[in-house]
Amino acid sequence: MKTIAVDIDNTLNNFMETLINTEFPYDKEKYSIDEATFKEYLVDIKAEKERDEDKYNNLSAAIHRQAYTIAKPRPGAAKFMRQLKNDGWRIVIMTYRDLRGCLEDTKEWFKKYKIPYDYFFRANDKIVMCKAWDIKTLIDDEPYNIIYGEEFGIQVYYPVMEKHKQLPPTLAKGFNNFEEVAAWIK
């Protein structure tokens, strides 16, 4: 059986676009911070800045959970995943998401968009997980995986994004739509 690992955020969905373009309303009871701090933190969250502050990290997690549920699949992503399943692939979802607070919401998102999968993991190091599971194909947007996948025998496919313009040459393949990937993995 062929096995493929697939990332969620910015790969299957439009997470960053959703995060940047969504107006998240202030709610003092929900966030337990004042409005000025909320607005300051929200700017940094949308810019993907990290801070070593509990209140910031709590707000960031809450905002991310909201964006996870409202992000839409990339065009063709759900169809591609269903085709993989129909073609007999074992699908392993690997995500950097902290699933402690959003596992059920994430599963509901897959159900809502009829996106099949066989296994679902949080993976800080997707290359290590691919090696452990003997997975030779990874679809992911993370530059580290794009650069180093081939070194470990993993063919990486990635949705072409602005952050990929400065990558060194690799055997990873950038795609503009999932139909390209479907043709490459046949």
Q: pLDDT per residue over 61-82, tens digit each?
A: 999 999 999 999 999 999 999 9
Tokens standing for residue 6: 């697939």
The model's confidence at residue 101, banded by pLDDT at 50, 70 and 90, is confident
The Cα 46–Cα 20 span in angstroms is: 5
Asked whether residue 164 falls in the same domain as residue 125, the answer is yes
Asked whether residue 108 falls in the same domain as residue 62, the answer is no
Closest to 94 measured CA to CA, from 108, 106, 86, 105: 106
Asked whether residue 164 falls in the same domain as residue 91, the answer is yes
Asked whether residue 150 falls in the same domain as residue 109, the answer is yes
Asked whether residue 58 falls in the same domain as residue 81, the answer is no
Asked whether residue 134 falls in the same domain as residue 43, the answer is no
* Residue with the two structure tokens 């129909």: 86
Domain boundary among 29, 48, 70: 70
Asked whether residue 108 falls in the same domain as residue 124, the answer is yes
Check pLDDT > 90 for residue 1. no
Closest to 14 measured CA to CA, from 78, 62, 72: 72
Asked whether residue 54 falls in the same domain as residue 117, the answer is no
Number of domains composing the chain = 2
Asked whether residue 173 falls in the same domain as residue 109, the answer is yes
Tokens standing for residue 62: 């809450």
Name the residue range of residue 22's domain: 15-70
The model's confidence at residue 186, banded by pLDDT at 50, 70 and 90, is confident
- Could you tell me the pTM of the whole model? 0.93
